Amino acid sequence: MPLELPPDLMVSVSGVRGRVGDPLTPELVAGLAASFGAFLREETGRDTVLLGRDSRTSGPMLSAAAAAGLQSVGVQVVRLGIVPTPTLLLAVEDREAAGGIAVSASHNPAEWNALKFCGSEGTFLDGDATEAFHRFRASQDPPRAPWDRLGEVEEDREAVATHVDRILSLREVDVEGLRERKLRVALDCVHGAGGVIMPRLLEALGCRMAGIGLETDGRFPRDPEPAAEHLEALGELVRESDADVGLAVDPDVDRLS
């Protein structure tokens, strides 16, 4: 039977999101991933989907469910692990994959999680593509692969390094100028995915860093939205470390303050 969505699941062009356990369950995630994988293959003729997540404690469970759903329709899965959402988007484009799924509720509280759907161009689905996917999902049960044609899983732990290298190669980034300045930077990664990329990037730019929330354990010590009213601890760190600038990101590093 076609997959029906719970009425309290939030559905938008940003994907689907909800509180973990109710309405966002592993069973629902597996079903959505299966439908998305089958949809992408029909639309693109490709059969590889990349999967990344932020650091939320529900991430391993829901990522495993998403991978199982994709495998069940014969889609090849590339697991990136904990990565910023922009890193996933770049990797989809670089690999010429069918698309990607980010398991992340972005700046929402820790009890929430979400699936963000990415197309083959390394961008989130637009309104038309989102509508097309949900029409596909609501119209049919995705065709399941037989035992000898299930999708396989590949691990890729180089996506972050590739992303950093790409940033350093941008003409707009004066790498040597920044290295000469040796900026002092105070950094708050809120125990999210920023911990796997921001220190690495700042080091490559020759910055001297003082950081908080660098552990990727998903236990957010503040509201994960990096708005000024939530960054008191970062302000204190800026003053204590005599930093030139303070930077804060949200759990999947698509917001920066």
Q: How far apart are CA 197 and CA 87, in angstroms?
A: 9
**219: which DSSP letter?**
-
Cβ proximity of 139 and 85 under 8 Å: no
Helices 26-44 and 127-139: angle between axes, nearest 10 degrees: 110
Catalytic, 14? Answer no
Of 116, 76, 81, 110, residue with least CA distance to 96: 76
Q: Can you tell me which residue has the tokens 């309290």?
A: 8
d(CA 39, CA 246) in angstroms, rounded, equals 42
**Separation between Cα atoms, residue 63 and residue 83, nearest integer Å:** 12
Rounded distance between C-alpha atoms, residue 131 and residue 150, angstroms: 27
* Nearest CA-CA partner of 95 in 49, 136, 39, 55: 49
The neighbour count for residue 73, using CB atoms within 10 Å, is 24
Q: How far apart are CA 74 and CA 138, in angstroms?
A: 20
Phi/psi zone of residue 40: left (φ > 0), alpha (ψ -120 to 50 degrees), beta? Answer: alpha
Give the active site residue among 55, 72, 104, 106: 106
Residues annotated as catalytic are 106
